[in-house]
Amino acid sequence: MKKGFALGTAGVMVLIATAAWGQGVKFNIAGYQVEGNTLLPEAEVQQILSGYTGAGRGLEDVKAAAEALRKAYEQAGYPVVSIFPPEQAASGGNILLKVVEGKVKTVTIKGNQAYDEANIRASLPGIREGLAPNAPEIVSEIAMANENPAKQVAVNFQAGQAPGAIDTTINVVEDRPEKFIATFDNGGSKSTGVHRFSLGYQNANLFNRDHMVTAQVGSSTDFPSKSLNISAGYRIPFYGHGLSLDLIAAYSDTNSGSTIIPGGSMNFTGKGTIFGARLNQPLAAIGEYRHKLIYGFDYKDFDNRASTCVPGAPAVSCSGTITTQPVSVSYVAQHNTPGLQVGGSAMFAMNIPGGPNGNPGDYATSTTGWRANWNVWRFNAFVGIPLAADWQFRANAAAQLSDYKLVSGEQFGAGGASSVRGYTERAIAGDQGYSGNLELYTPELAALASLPSGYGMRGVFFYDAGQIYNRGPGAQPQRHISSVGAGLRFNVQRDLSARLDFGVAQDRLVSQTAGVGRERGDTYGQFAVNYSF
Over residues 367-398, the pLDDT tens digits come to: 677 889 999 999 999 999 999 999 999 999 99
Of 303, 316, 426, 427, the closest CA to residue 368 belongs to 316
pLDDT band at 337 (very low <50, low <70, confident <90, very high): very high
Of 207, 332, 358, 354, the closest CA to residue 280 belongs to 332
Class of the CATH-defined domain 105-174: alpha beta
Contact 416, 450 (CB under 8 A): no
Reply yes or no on whether the pLDDT at 258 is more than 50.
no
Q: How far apart are CA 48 and CA 51, in angstroms?
A: 6
pLDDT band at 317 (very low <50, low <70, confident <90, very high): very low
pLDDT of residue 4: 38
Q: What is the mean pLDDT of residues 460-488?
A: 93
pLDDT of residue 476: 79
CATH 3.10.20.310 occupies which residues in the chain?
Answer: 4-101, 105-174
Q: How far apart are CA 409 and CA 417, in angstroms?
A: 19
pLDDT band at 310 (very low <50, low <70, confident <90, very high): very low
- How deeply is 48 buried, as exposed, middle or buried, from its count of CB atoms within 10 A (0-12, 13-18, 19+)? middle
Assign 91 to helix, strand or coil.
helix
pLDDT band at 53 (very low <50, low <70, confident <90, very high): very high
Assign 61 to helix, strand or coil.
helix
How far is the CA of 452 from the CAs of 413, 455, 457, 491, in angstroms? 40, 6, 11, 11
Contact 103, 160 (CB under 8 A): no
pLDDT band at 254 (very low <50, low <70, confident <90, very high): confident
To the question of pTM greater than 0.75 for the whole model, the response is yes
Range 4-101: architecture per CATH? Roll (3.10)
Number of DSSP helices (H) and strands (E) in the chain, helices first: 6, 31
Residue type, 348: F
Of 479, 321, 298, 476, the closest CA to residue 407 belongs to 321
Q: What is the mean pLDDT of residues 437-443?
A: 99
More confident residue, 472 or 433: 433
Q: What is the mean pLDDT of residues 290-300?
A: 96
- How deeply is 366 buried, as exposed, middle or buried, from its count of CB atoms within 10 A (0-12, 13-18, 19+)? exposed
* Alpha-helical runs (H) found in 20-172: 42-49, 59-75, 117-123, 135-145
Reply yes or no on whether the pLDDT at 46 is more than 50.
yes
DSSP string over 364-407: --TTT---TT-EEEEEEEEEEEE-GGG-EEEEEEEEEE-SS---
Q: What is the mean pLDDT of residues 300-316?
A: 54
Adjacent-strand bridge partners of 482: 465
pLDDT of residue 8: 32
Of 298, 175, 173, 291, the closest CA to residue 242 belongs to 291
